[in-house]
Amino acid sequence: MLHRTDISFSRSALVLLVIAAMNASVFAQGSGAAASRGFKAEMVVLNANIHTMDPKQPRARAMAISDGKIVAIGGEGEVRELIGPNTRQMDAGGRLIIPGFNDAHVHFLETGQQLSSVDLRDAKTPQEFTERIKNFAAKLPKGRWILGGKWDHENWTPNNLPTAAMIDAVTPDNPVFIDRLDGHMALANSLAMRLAGVNKDTKDVEGGEIVRDANGNPTGVLKDAAMAYVNKVIPAPSWEERLEAAQAATEHAASLGVTSVTDVSAGTDVGVYQELLRRGTLKTRIYGCSPVSDYRRWERTGVRFAFGDPWLRVGCLKGYSDGSLGSTTAWFFQTYLDAPTSFGLASDEMATMPETVQKADAAGLQINIHAIGDRANAEVLDIFAKTEQTNGVRDRRFRIEHAQHLRLDDIKRFGGQKVVASMQPFHIIDDGRWAWKRLDGERLKGTYAFRTILDTGGVLAFGSDSPVAPLNPIWGVYAAATRRTLDDKNPNGWIPEQKISVEETVRAFTWGSAYGEFQEHIKGTLAVGKLADFVVLSEDIFTIDPVKIWNVKVAKTVVNGKLVYEAK
């Protein structure tokens, strides 16, 4: 049975151990002894501006790679001594190299599926929203479901929710169930509601809401747990469709410099990733999470801790405590400004969450809980604290996914309780356009509190939440460092006191995310013995004006010492 800190010792790892034992001073200090003993690297990277994110050796000009791992890093002279007749050479052209981005929170298969679905994210008006659906539906056979979408009614003036009436005429033959970009509410057309049996007499469910008109008729929007009414009648995608989506996702990730992800909704998709790995077409390392309710299944198998290899690991569990701010289902201590009778919604999982977390933790599994509102975060922190009291102190790395709105006194609990704050910077510059409509200034002080979390000893693990937000980590770096909202109305940053540096942001996207999955010993920094996963960027994001980071591109992506993407 593998412990969290174990890795699979393949032939490559054994080779590295032998090399390290013979030449520890060589690779750490740069002597030429390795070359004199005849060792030659499979690949060397030269003429590079390497930011290793390793405080022991922050900068380097070159590195050598063998068997998918870094065997030397430092000055160009000593690395050149490891060049042999079969060594591949990469000239970085003086460009910046950083560790591969590790997305700590992504819905990976959904990301691939959305790439082939109707794109509604930037539809600026209800009319454009309808027109895009009309054009997409016109290309589909009758009966084919229209899913995905990722619409955002906050783009519209007024910001009214969409209705089935807006799309019924353009989708008479295709059931529609399209998500808001946060995934916590979705719009069904009338055909989909008929198939699901949703009508005036359908009851709301715990943790969910059916939005209704003045006469009590469903408008088409279903929130959180109520979405299950329609989800249960949507045909499951075929095996080949899932493979296509996974392949699209890994190709997309490679083009953006994302070399690892935590798929927080992997569930039964692990087999799809296994197949891509078998075919040799998987370009992204994956840590797959199952629903927290699955802990009994894991417990029955006797599994202790996450297991797998550096390409594909499982063993984390994902739960929900509330919904989202955009859907007014995030759970708060006080009501919404624009919904003065609503505190949001606690998820239907919260009634049993204390027992579930305690038992799942006792089984040795890592637990990640989604929490947006301040009450949701406080309740989850309380559950984590009680679980540790019950099960004893150990390195468990509880995670709160999003940790979006926090009471000021709760921020320091992340460092104090050693809870990883798994957060997504892009949401700042998106939500900042309209969050003030829902929350007063006092509550907003604890919104995306990156600076305070770090200053009070917490660990940030950054991700994207794709396809809720774009997968591009460069935009995430821009967001954390500038906090300039997408509407350009906050040029100095939204809640600017919570800005962090580019260096701190990249560390959260690399080392922090690796730490968040117990893998900082093999990835997240560029150092001898670690995985050769790195990205070459078009510009130096550490020296340019942070506002210009938005336009920086990925020039090359290398995973396991292999070039998996190169910009044309």
Residue at token pair 């396809």:
467
User: Tokens 């953006």 map to which residue?
Assistant: 256
Question: Tens digit of pLDDT per residue, the chain (568 long)?
Answer: 223 333 333 333 333 333 443 343 344 434 344 554 689 999 999 999 999 999 999 999 999 999 999 999 999 999 999 999 999 999 999 999 999 999 999 999 999 999 988 989 889 999 999 999 999 999 989 998 999 888 999 999 999 999 999 999 999 999 999 999 888 899 999 999 999 999 999 998 988 999 999 999 999 999 999 999 999 999 989 999 999 999 999 999 999 999 999 999 999 899 999 999 999 999 999 999 999 988 888 888 777 778 899 999 998 999 999 999 999 999 999 999 999 999 999 999 999 999 999 999 999 999 999 999 999 999 999 999 999 999 999 999 999 999 999 999 999 999 999 999 999 999 999 999 999 999 999 999 999 999 999 999 999 999 999 999 999 999 999 999 999 999 999 999 999 999 999 999 999 999 999 999 999 999 999 999 999 999 999 999 999 999 999 999 999 999 999 999 999 8
How far apart are the C-alpha atoms of 117 and 181, rounded to whole Å?
Answer: 13
What is the pLDDT, as a whole number, of residue 27? 44
Among 69, 80, 76, 65, which Cα is nearest to 35's?
A: 80
Q: Give the pLDDT score at 68.
A: 98
* 3-state class (DSSP) for residue 179: strand
Q: Is 531 helix (H, G, I), strand (E, B) or coil?
A: strand
pLDDT the model gives residue 298: 82
Q: Within 13 A of 366's CA, how many CA atoms are on the CB side?
A: 29
SS3 category, 366: strand
Nearest to 289 by CA among 323, 258, 312: 312
The SS3 assignment for 410 reads: helix
Q: Which residue has the tokens 């150990």?
A: 394
Tokens standing for residue 309: 């290899």
> How does strand 96-99 pair with strand 534-537?
antiparallel
- Please give the pLDDT value at position 446: 97
CA dist 400 and 417 (Å) reads 12
Place of tokens 């800190």: 5
3-state secondary structure of 200: coil
Q: How much is the pLDDT for 17? A: 37
Which residue, 313, 268, 364, 278, is CA-closest to 517? 313
At residue 303, the pLDDT reads 72
For helices 239-255 and 270-279, give the axis angle rounded to 10 degrees.
70
What is the spatial distance between Cα 338 and Cα 360, in angstroms, rounded to a whole number?
38
Separation between Cα atoms, residue 396 and residue 417, nearest integer Å: 11
pTM equals: 0.86
Identify the bridge partners of residue 62 per DSSP, sorted by sequence position.
74
